[in-house]
Amino acid sequence: MFNEGEQVHNANALLQTITTLKAKAESMDIPVFLIQHEAPEGKPLEHGTSGWEIHPQVKGGTVIHKLTPDSFHQTDLHEQLQTRGVEELFLTGIQSEVCVDTTCRRAFSMGYKVTLVSDAHSTWDSGVLKAEDIIQHHNGVLRWFADVAQSSHIIEYWENERS
């Protein structure tokens, strides 16, 4: 999805931020979960197509396959998190107004402490709104369901928690 057609807003910076967070989490033994959306046959995110593949720079970690924007719906994400004792989630990814939004709200409703990484989610222009406006809107609205913090603050938080 990242490389399909028009690139997601701020693509290179997004990829750099996510890979930096992922590497830091892995170096600190913080579990990393990659959520991979699968769409029906003939759609851009059809299983096995290039649009479905996880970006090579992000690969690694536990992969959860989903069929809807909600990463918990009809997946074993909750069970996987519970098995590892995870109570706090840090959300990144695409698409801000769809999967990121839905998963953030659902995680909150399930009792997880959620942090939306403000500079590590993105989307495309919608035809009505610019991608940057959609991202900023969601950073504001999702404050009802999550802490919203920049990646640099999260890395600092992780380092302070471990010291």
Query: Is 104 a known active-site residue?
Result: no
Most distant pair of Cα atoms in the chain: their distance? 50
Q: 35, 81, 94, 99: which is the annotated catalytic residue?
A: 99
| Contact of 26 with 59, CB cutoff 8 Å | no
Question: How wide is the angle at C-alpha 73 spanned by C-alphas 52 and 133, nearest 5°?
Answer: 65
Q: How far is residue 45's CA from residue 4's CA, in Å, rounded to a whole number?
A: 10
Q: What are phi and psi of 148, to 5 degrees?
A: -120, 120
Q: How far is residue 150's CA from residue 41's CA, in Å, rounded to a whole number?
A: 37
- Residues with Cβ within 8 Å of residue 7, at least 6 apart in sequence: none
- Residues with Cβ within 8 Å of residue 124, at least 6 apart in sequence: 6, 8, 9, 95, 131
Total residue count of the chain as it appears in this document: 163
- List active site positions: 99
